[in-house]
């Protein structure tokens, strides 16, 4: 890369300090923050407001309104039409119009639209294998947006440079649609902090060692931001989206829930398991591993406090940091007398699920019984019927049956570790609501507890638990002083 050579002379002097003394924040904007020119103007204001915001990772333009289409989804349709030999010019036009509208409204005066048209013309002639062709189309959503945004920043007086994952050597595995960063990429990307202009970097894809474009899983611009934050040892990874904070409970289930100020990575992970959908938590891992705080902020309200996600334990003012829930689980109940004496029974049971290709989520056990919890979409009724049959026929279970419609509620909080009585509060709250607890599980770490209820009670249960732990008149009593 150009700047690597430029700075080569300085490197021996700078190498001693871990970050070469450069202060940099990586700032990522999601699709809704970049859906049109008004949003991009907000993004510009945000980047300009802090001189440490030097590496800007961008998504493709997202939805402008609820029934709009994301550019990435349009690109997938275009790629599919190409692969099926029925290239859909109409979709291409819709995509080009999205970029043209942004270009016109930002009053740009560069050759970027020509480059974008040229790019699609070349893609149309491409003979890549289908999996790589789809990725090449998908990646162009962020790639073209990054070029437009860099031009706009520069025009507005903030010198900015588009840098591609290819130029920067963001090396990834050769697994189309599901790229994994290669360890050696971090060393290559470290140099980005030495660039004097603002870098506008397209999210969502990298390149294989032999130069093929491969995308991360959907929503993967978060992954790009996290990788870059790690590589340049950023002071912070700011992730701008369209909510003021991560909420303590889903706004779909609770009216105007409180926002969370700080969350540990472990808490975030547990919450997202049970339905919190702000991030794929794996996406944050590269930044978190290096101890870089992740700050979730709102492009439409940048002065809101947002939520920090940090490595290690955090001091939260409340016992519970968040309540998540997820429906559609299945419980497979197995009973066998003297199960606890039979060496290998659980192993054989799990082997049976493995044979049937079904992933197991939880296994609460009793003395003579066990319940295997799986996700509803992981097994058809036919597969479940076969599992039940085999449990009886091959493992001689006295009883075996399955039930769909289980909802798992997860209460998460580092604050629970030193508190007595949290389980009792949850149980009595649900009892007051006449909701039966079908199963209960508390992790050894005591950072989370999980309750299983019938899914028709989900909304009522979450509202009641929210009122119990976050309602105004609640006072916490520390019992283990």
Q: Which is nearer to ligand ASP, 133 or 254 (CB)?
A: 133
Nearest one of 71, 140, 136, 147 to 106, comparing CA atoms = 147
Q: How many residues bind ligand ASP (CB under 6 A)?
A: 14
Is the distance from CB of 190 to CB of 48 less than 8 angstroms? no
Residues contacting residue 481 through CB under 8 Å, at least 6 positions apart: none
Residues 316, 258: Cα–Cα separation, whole Å: 14
Compute the least distance from the CB of residue 233 to ligand ASP, in Å: 23
Kind of pairing, strands 160-162 and 198-202?
Answer: parallel
Whose tokens are 């440490």? That residue is 52
Q: Which is nearer to ligand ASP, 71 or 150 (CB)?
A: 71
Q: Which is nearer to ligand ASP, 165 or 220 (CB)?
A: 220
In the stretch 138-167, what mask flags binding to ligand ASP with x, by CB under 6 A?
---x--------------------------
Contact with ligand ASP (CB under 6 A) among 166, 218, 390, 425? 218
Kind of pairing, strands 213-215 and 448-454?
Answer: unpaired
Compute the least distance from the CB of residue 73 to ligand ASP, in Å: 7
Compute the least distance from the CB of residue 177 to ligand ASP, in Å: 11
Bridge partners of 294, per DSSP, are 237, 309
> Running DSSP on this structure, what letter comes out for residue 457?
G
Q: Which is nearer to ligand ASP, 31 or 452 (CB)?
A: 31
Q: Evaluate the CA torsion angle 240, 250, 36, 139 in order and state its sign.
A: positive
> Running DSSP on this structure, what letter comes out for residue 291?
T
Does 203 bind ligand ASP (CB under 6 A)? Our answer is yes
DSSP labels, 117-139? HHHHHHHHT----HHHHHHHHHH
Contact with ligand ASP (CB under 6 A) among 33, 221, 272, 371? 221
Is the distance from CB of 59 to CB of 29 less than 8 angstroms? yes
Compute the least distance from the CB of residue 220 to ligand ASP, in Å: 5
Q: Evaluate the CA torsion angle 205, 208, 214, 219 in order and state its sign.
A: negative
Segment 448-467, which members bind ligand ASP (CB under 6 A)? none
Does 206 bind ligand ASP (CB under 6 A)? Our answer is no
Nearest one of 404, 412, 419 to 451, comparing CA atoms = 412
Residue nearest to ligand ASP (CB): 221
| 472 half-sphere exposure, CB direction, 13 A CA radius | 0
Compute the least distance from the CB of residue 72 to ligand ASP, in Å: 4
| 477 half-sphere exposure, CB direction, 13 A CA radius | 6
Q: Which is nearer to ligand ASP, 72 or 316 (CB)?
A: 72
Residues 447, 451: Cα–Cα separation, whole Å: 14
Does 220 bind ligand ASP (CB under 6 A)? Our answer is yes
Binding segment toward ligand ASP, per CB under 6 A, in 167-175, 219-227, 337-345, 473-481: 219-227
Tell me the three state secondary structure of residue 332: strand
In the stretch 54-73, what mask flags binding to ligand ASP with x, by CB under 6 A?
-----xx---------x-x-
Binding segment toward ligand ASP, per CB under 6 A, in 212-220, 309-317, 399-407, 460-468: 212-220
- How far, in Å, are 50, 348, 390 from residue 355 at the CA level? 55, 10, 11
Does 219 bind ligand ASP (CB under 6 A)? Our answer is yes
Pull the structure tokens for residue 236.
Answer: 């912070």
Does 44 bind ligand ASP (CB under 6 A)? Our answer is no
Segment 23-42, which members bind ligand ASP (CB under 6 A)? 30-31
Binding segment toward ligand ASP, per CB under 6 A, in 94-102, 214-222, 427-435, 436-444: 214-222
In the stretch 102-141, what mask flags binding to ligand ASP with x, by CB under 6 A?
---------------------------------------x
Q: Which residues bind ligand ASP (CB under 6 A)?
A: 30-31, 59-60, 70, 72, 141, 203-204, 218-222
């Amino acid at each position: 890369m150009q700047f690597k050579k430029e700075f080569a002379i300085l490197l021996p002097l700078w190498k001693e300090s871990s970050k070469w003394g450069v202060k940099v924040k990586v700032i990522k904007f999601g699709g809704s923050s970049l859906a049109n020119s008004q949003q991009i103007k907000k993004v510009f204001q945000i980047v300009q407001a802090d001189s440490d915001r030097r590496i800007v990772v961008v998504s493709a333009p997202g939805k402008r309104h609820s029934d709009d289409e994301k550019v990435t989804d349009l690109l997938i349709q275009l790629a599919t039409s190409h692969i099926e030999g029925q290239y859909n010019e109409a979709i291409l036009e819709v995509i080009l119009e999205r970029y043209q509208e942004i270009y016109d409204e930002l009053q740009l005066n560069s050759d970027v639209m020509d480059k974008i048209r040229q790019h699609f013309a070349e893609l149309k002639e491409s003979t890549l294998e289908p999996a790589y062709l789809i990725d090449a189309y998908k990646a162009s959503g962020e790639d073209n947006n990054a070029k437009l945004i860099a031009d706009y920043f520069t025009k507005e007086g903030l010198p900015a440079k588009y840098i591609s994952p290819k130029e920067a050597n963001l090396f990834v595995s050769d697994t189309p649609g599901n790229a994994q960063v290669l360890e050696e990429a971090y060393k290559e990307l470290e140099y980005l902090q030495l660039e004097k202009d603002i870098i506008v970097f397209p999210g969502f894809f990298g390149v294989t060692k032999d130069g093929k474009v491969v995308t991360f899983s959907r929503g993967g611009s978060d992954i790009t931001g996290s990788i870059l934050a790690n590589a340049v040892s950023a002071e912070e990874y700011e992730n701008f989206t369209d909510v003021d904070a991560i909420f303590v409970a889903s706004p779909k289930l609770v009216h105007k829930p409180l926002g969370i100020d700080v969350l540990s990575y472990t808490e975030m992970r547990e919450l997202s398991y049970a339905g919190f959908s702000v991030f794929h938590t794996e996406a944050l891992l590269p930044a978190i591993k290096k101890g870089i705080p992740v700050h979730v902020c709102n492009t439409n309200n940048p002065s809101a406090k947002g939520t920090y996600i940090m490595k290690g334990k955090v001091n939260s003012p409340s016992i519970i940091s968040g309540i998540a829930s997820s429906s559609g689980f299945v419980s497979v109940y197995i009973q066998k007398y003297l199960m606890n004496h039979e060496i290998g029974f659980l192993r054989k049971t799990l082997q049976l699920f493995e044979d049937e290709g079904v992933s197991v989520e939880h296994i609460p056990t009793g003395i003579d019984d066990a319940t295997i919890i799986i996700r509803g979409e992981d097994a058809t009724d036919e597969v479940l019927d076969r599992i039940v049959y085999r449990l009886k026929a091959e493992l001689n279970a006295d009883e075996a049956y399955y039930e769909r419609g289980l909802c798992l509620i997860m209460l998460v909080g580092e604050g629970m570790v030193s508190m007595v009585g949290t389980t009792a509060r949850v149980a009595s709250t649900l009892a007051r609501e006449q909701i039966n607890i079908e199963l209960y599980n508390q992790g050894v770490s005591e950072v989370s507890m999980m309750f299983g209820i019938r899914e028709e009670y989900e909304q009522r249960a979450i509202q009641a638990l929210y009122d119990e732990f976050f309602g105004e008149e609640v006072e916490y009593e520390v019992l283990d002083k």
